[in-house]
Amino acid sequence: MSSYSGFAQVYDLFMDNIPYDKWCDYLESILKENGVNNGLVLELGCGTGSVCERLADKGYDMIGVDNSEEMLQIAQEKEMEHSRGILYLLQDMREFELYGTVEAVVSICDSLNYIVEEEDMLQVFTLVNNYLERGGLFVFDLNTVYKYENILADNTIAESREDCSFIWDNFYDPQTQVNEYDLTLFVQQEDGLYERFDEVHYQRGYHLDKIKELLKKAGLEFVVAYDAFTKEAVKPDSERIYVVAKEGRQEGKYYC
């Protein structure tokens, strides 16, 4: 899993084309349709806090978990400015720990695609089930195998801004279903000079059947999967999907 080091400085800038308000409205609709109208919600892979902030504004008590100290530092700075009461934790989602249970766990912006090993994904799902209240909800999105194979593929993407630019070289291995993208960033510093950062990120595409299998092994109950930002079934050419699952009761499970 990548820790987003150099990219953290300009992450929000390059993500300004993401319609976070629309995405969070959609996420809220799924939560409320499944009875989660308020309460404590955990976001896995919270990054700089853009989703946590919006869900907090909608009345949820938010906890954000991320394994990038640099990304969380930015999230904390924004929290200090606006005081939404968000708790940010520097933890790997494969090993996260909470003091009690939550009403829902969410993970969007393809954070779970960074889990490239099936056993690690199973561990994440198992921890989610452990920390969900009885009947609690788990909502997450995933980039699809179709997107990696047909949209990203072996392409190069570049973007230049006034004070920063990046080059993204993408490589997808259909055998392992692992997508590698090599980022080269040039970020203008206070003295006007540009500093170069190089990062390598890995994501994996998962077929829905595999996700259902891992959810079941973790004790979670699969509810539904949607073609992203609709309430329609997943399509062969869906580029992003949303998966909804519920807590499953297990003997010896912790509850607060």
158: domain CATH number is: 2.20.25.110
What does the block give as tokens for 111?
């954070």
Q: What is the pLDDT of residue 183?
A: 84
254 in a structural domain: no
Asked if 159 and 220 sit in the same domain, the reply is no
Domain identity same for 123 and 235: yes
Residue type, 20: Y
Q: Which residues pair with 157 in a beta bridge?
A: 168
Q: Which long-range contacts (CB under 8 A, 24 or more apart) does 227-230 make?
A: 228/141, 229/22, 229/23, 229/26
Domains of the chain: total = 2
Contact 204, 178 (CB under 8 A): yes
- Whether 59 maps to a domain, the answer reads yes
Same domain, 42 and 95: yes
One domain, residues 87 and 10: yes
Rounded to an integer, the average pLDDT of 45-64 is 96
3-state secondary structure 168-182: EEEEEECCCCEEEEE
- Which residues sit opposite 158 in a β-bridge? 167
Select the more confidently predicted residue: 29 or 18: 29
217 and 189 together in one domain: no
Let me know whether 157 and 125 are in one domain: no
Structure tokens at 66: 């991320």
Which domain range does residue 86 map to? 6-143+206-246
Show the tokens assigned to 60.
């949820």
Question: Confidence band (pLDDT; 50, 70, 90) for 237?
Answer: very high
Asked whether residue 29 falls in the same domain as residue 138, the answer is yes
Any domain includes 255:
no
Let me know: does 202 contact 182? Beta carbons within 8 Å: no
Does the pLDDT at position 208 exceed 70? yes
Q: Is residue 115 part of a domain?
A: yes
Rounded Cα distance between 205 and 142, Å, is 8
Chain length of the chain: 256
Shared domain check, 41 and 124: yes
39 in a domain, yes or no? yes
Give the CATH number for residue 119: 3.40.50.150
Residue 119 in tokens: 């056993």
C-alpha torsion sign, points 45, 50, 54, 57: positive
- Cβ atoms of 45 and 112 within 8 Å: the answer is yes
Give me the pLDDT at residue 1, please. 44
pLDDT digits over 165-198, tens only? 889 899 999 999 999 989 888 888 888 888 888 8
Rounded mean pLDDT, 129-134: 96
Q: Is residue 252 part of a domain?
A: no
How far is Cα 54 from Cα 26, in angstroms, rounded to an integer? 12
Residue 219 has pLDDT above 70, yes or no: yes
pLDDT at 160: 84
Is 55 found in the same domain as 18? yes
Considering the domain architecture, whether residues 16 and 92 belong to the same structural domain is answered as yes
- The pair of three-digit structure tokens given for residue 92, joined into one six-digit string: 């790997």
Could you write out the DSSP letters of every residue in 120-147?
HHHHHHHHHHHHEEEEEEEEEEEE-HHI
Most confident range (mean pLDDT) of 28-37, 165-174, 197-206, 246-255 is 28-37
Cα–Cα distances in angstroms (integers) from residue 146 to residues 174, 177, 204, 208, 235, in the given order = 10, 10, 12, 12, 10
User: Strand 132-143's sheet: what is its strand order?
Assistant: 87-90, 60-66, 39-44, 102-107, 132-143, 240-246, 221-227
Q: What confidence tier does 256 reach under pLDDT thresholds 50, 70, 90?
A: very low
Together in a domain, 154 and 134: no
More confident residue, 243 or 253: 243
Residue 215 contacts residue 127 (beta carbons within 8 Å): no
Distance CA 113, CA 111 (A): 5
pLDDT at 84 > cutoff 80: yes
Residue 23 belongs to a domain: yes
* 23 and 11 fall within a common domain: yes
Is the model's pLDDT at 155 over the cut of 60? yes
